[in-house]
Amino acid sequence: MRDYAKTDAIDELIPALIQCFGVILLGYLAGRYKILSEAEIRGLNSYVTKFALPAVFFKGMVTVDLTGMSWALVGAISLGKATVFFLAFATTLLLNRTSPFGMAAILSMFVSQSNDVALGYPVCEYFSHNCLLFLLNMITALRNHNQVRAY
């Protein structure tokens, strides 16, 4: 873990959060005021999901320094996500008997796979440099792969 003063934490965390929420706000405003047409939105979505994000994640996975990774932290987060996934899966199977496996799988993914890259990465980056880059990139790559297959 890094030894940062509280001012260093603010200096690194606040700009990262401003960037994240700034992009979200710009996307909302573009949709709200119809700045982009439907064709432009589809084209931008296709570019981002099929070219830009995979390139960024591939670069991150190739250049990550695995020696600085906290495997205990990766294991703890993975165990927590797996526990939440299976609890949501079992609860959905018990409560919804009409479409057991499909609905259980979807709701389990919604519960266990949060927005790790956009908000989780800046926080993890502060606590341990490169500690979760590999794990977060793999989670996002799998999520994007499943979304592309759904279309």
Where are the chain's structural domains? 6-68+114-150
pTM of the model: 0.48
Q: Give the pLDDT confidence score for residue 150 in this predicted structure.
A: 47
Lowest-confidence segment of 52-61, 103-112, 140-149 by average pLDDT: 140-149
107 vs 90, residue with greater confidence: 90
Q: Which two tokens stand for residue 59?
A: 């670069």
Q: Which carries the bigger pLDDT value, residue 43 or residue 134? A: 43
Per-residue model confidence (pLDDT) at position 151: 44
Rounded Cα distance, 83 and 89, in Å: 10
What are the structure tokens assigned to 103, written together? Answer: 């609905």
The residue that leads in pLDDT, 140 or 114, is: 114
Which amino acid belongs to residue 33? Y
Distances from the Cα of 104 to the Cαs of 24, 53, 86, in angstroms?
Answer: 29, 28, 9
